[in-house]
Amino acid sequence: MLSEYLPIFILMIFALAFASVMVLSNRILGPKKPNPEKLSTYESGMEPIRTARDRFSVKFYLVAMLFIIFDIEIVFLYPWAVTFDKLGVLGYVEMFLFIFVLLVGYFYIIKKGALKWE
């Protein structure tokens, strides 16, 4: 039972090792000749005009909340998708009904312009 999760475990170990080796090897092997131009946030881009550590717009919060609601929809989709082959046409119709109700909400937020960045 636990061995089923071995691939996930190996993937996590590999990701951790890969990321730390990349960051560490850059720190150890990379040449360091800093100058003010190199140390600026965007070396050949725009000059930063204000501090980045500012208050964020509350619009992000609404987007995150809407995201969570569709995230929960995905959680309901997952056990359905695993047993889809056994459920037949009825299961298909049931899930269609479920998605349809949320689709109404989706069209509501589109119509309201809640996703528009004004």
* Smaller CB separation from another protein, 21 or 64: 64
CA–CA gap between residue 113 and residue 117 (Å, rounded): 9
Among 15-23, 25-33, 34-42, 68-76, the segment contacting another protein (CB under 8 A): 68-76
Binding residue for another protein, selected from 27, 67, 89, 117, defined by CB under 8 A: 67
Q: Is 16 in the site for another protein (CB under 8 A)?
A: no
Task: Please write down the HEC assignment for all residues of 88-104.
Answer: HHHHHHHHHHHHHHHHH
Q: How many residues bind to another protein according to rule CB under 8 A?
A: 45
The number of residues making up the chain comes to 118
First vs last C-alpha separation in the chain: 51
Q: How is residue 42 annotated by DSSP?
A: S
Among 18-26, 28-36, 41-49, 50-58, the segment contacting another protein (CB under 8 A): 50-58
Side-chain-facing half-sphere of 114: CA atoms under 13 Å: 16
Binding residue for another protein, selected from 13, 18, 20, 108, defined by CB under 8 A: 108
Q: Is 69 in the site for another protein (CB under 8 A)?
A: yes
